[in-house]
Chains A and B, each alone.
Chain A
Amino acid sequence: MSYFSGIAAVYWKDVLLEFRTRQSLSTMFTFCLTIVIIFNFVFEPGSPAVVEVSPGVLWAAFTFSGLLGISRSFSFEIDRGGLQGLLLCPVERSTIYFGKVLGNVTFMLLIEAVTFPIFVVFYNLPPSMNLLGLGLVFLLGTLGFVAVGTLLSAISANTKAREVLLPVLLFPVAVPVLVATVKSTGPLLRGDDLAQVASWVKLLLAFDLLFLAASSLTFEFIVEE
């Protein structure tokens, strides 16, 4: 089995499992929507502050709900001994990591794609936004968050604390992603050109590449038995 078909097999297994059970996606989406609604109570309806803080609300909702999916992606493997089966496959260990990353990115992007239009309606955002730019930032930001999150989820799922530990490990490390996505989402929501936020996009790209590389190299040390 080639390297890439190994990744595709792990990815397809996760996607198939999710679409048969829909456990992660349904909780992620409901939670994401709940966060968007709860944050609404913080501001006076119709106040200009809403537009100012909306990128932060959006990314809080994306990352908190994404955390649910990321933490499940390894814990359910451990509950039913699935990880042992994956490790017995005659593929390189990092294929498991990349397959899981792809799966988590897919799930988070799906949630983002469904939540975003609802968010625009709820927060009364002007329609003159840079959709293409937003798509790029969502993709790069999600990839960075998932790249670190998947690695740390493999760690936390194997500890006594399980899911409780993951946010404590993940959020401080993911600070650059959060800052970069929030700061670039703001101008893009107002319809600014992608060139306006080029330095943030470059930062996201650097973060993604660095942590995909570092995580795929260190992943095998986490799952070895």
Chain B
Amino acid sequence: MKKNGRLSPTDWILWGLTSATIAVALYAAFLYAPTERTMGDIQRIFYFHVASAWIGFLAFFVVFVASIAYLATKAVKWDILAASSAEIGVVFSTLVLLTGPLWARPVWNTYWTWDPRLTSFLILWLIYIAYLMLRAYAGEEEKSARFAAVFGIIGFLDVPIVYASIRLWRTLHPKPVIAGGGGSGLAPQMLTSLFIALGAFLVLYVTLLHLRIRLEKVNRAVRQLHLEANR
């Protein structure tokens, strides 16, 4: 953002791109993609559900990489990137946890089931909620950055083990509700719509990240001014 508070060219480009791709993704999901034979229109939520999940994973992976980079370099920009990406990741994974049950209720006849993917995603979500709480309570900026970076690494390393453990647990016990489920044998238009939704959410992620990073910088600058004023 420029000093006078107007949007910069980058802002305009990002906003334009986001609006356009989201519009295309909506068209693709609701009009272009064919109606699923057994599930009907409810299946259309799948495009946004899966796209949110992938972008959520991407966001947490960015946290992981930025955390390592922060510990290696101690450059504040990496901490700002990790903090911003974690918050957006939590937003996307919350979307996953909200859209999932909406789809599951009519299709699986239940809002929730302790399937490996659902369960490990819920744990993943909890880990990053804890990450945000740690950031909120850590205290000084520099300390919060170090602690969050360590937890960002530990939390991400944990994800595959959580998944392995839950899968091992569920394969010992047969799944009670899931008979067929979607995901296999997508029609080509469905796959195209999924990738369009994914692209749109990727652009949305970049835009949100851009804005969140700027907000974080302003936030820190204001805090710094406060400290100086109180001195």
| Chain A residues close to B by CB (< 8 Å) | 148, 151-152, 155, 158-161, 165, 168-169, 172-173, 175-176, 179-180, 183, 199-200, 203, 206-207, 210-211, 214-215, 218, 221-222, 224
Contacts and interface: CB of A to CB of B under 8 A. Distances in A.
B146 A169 contact: no
A173 B153 CA distance: 11
Interface string B142-181: 0100110111011101100110111011001000000000
B123 A183 contact: no
Contact of A165 (B134, B143, B154, B158): B134
Interface string B106-128: 00000000000000000100110
Interface of B: 71, 123, 126-127, 130, 133-134, 137-139, 143, 146-147, 149-151, 153-155, 157-158, 161-162, 164-166, 168-169, 172
Contacts of B123: 172, 175
B75 to A, nearest CB: 14
A208 to B, nearest CB: 11
Nearest to B133: A168
B157 A210 contact: yes
Contacts of A180: 165, 168
Contacts, number: 89
A160 B154 CA distance: 21
Given A151-B150, A207-B161, A172 B130 contact: yes
Nearest to B157: A214
Nearest to B169: A179
A176 B146 contact: no
Contacts of A203: 161, 164-165, 168
Nearest to B148: A155
A214 B154 contact: yes
B172 A183 contact: yes
**SS of B interface (majority):** helix
Contact of A221 (B137, B149, B164): B149
A207 B157 CA distance: 10
Given A173-B154, A203-B168, A222-B146, A160 B138 contact: yes
Nearest to B150: A218
B69 to A, nearest CB: 13
Contacts of A218: 71, 150, 153-154
A145 B147 CA distance: 19
Contact of A155 (B71, B150, B158, B168): B150
Given A172-B127, A175-B162, A222 B150 contact: yes
Given A165-B134, A172-B126, A207-B161, A158 B147 contact: yes
B164 A165 contact: no
B155 to A, nearest CB: 6
Contacts of B161: 176, 203, 206-207, 210
A193 to B, nearest CB: 16
A79 to B, nearest CB: 16
5 contacts: A152-B154, A173-B154, A183-B168, A210-B157, A218-B153
A169 B151 contact: yes
Given A168-B133, A214-B157, A221-B71, A176 B164 contact: yes
A83 to B, nearest CB: 14
A151 B158 CA distance: 14
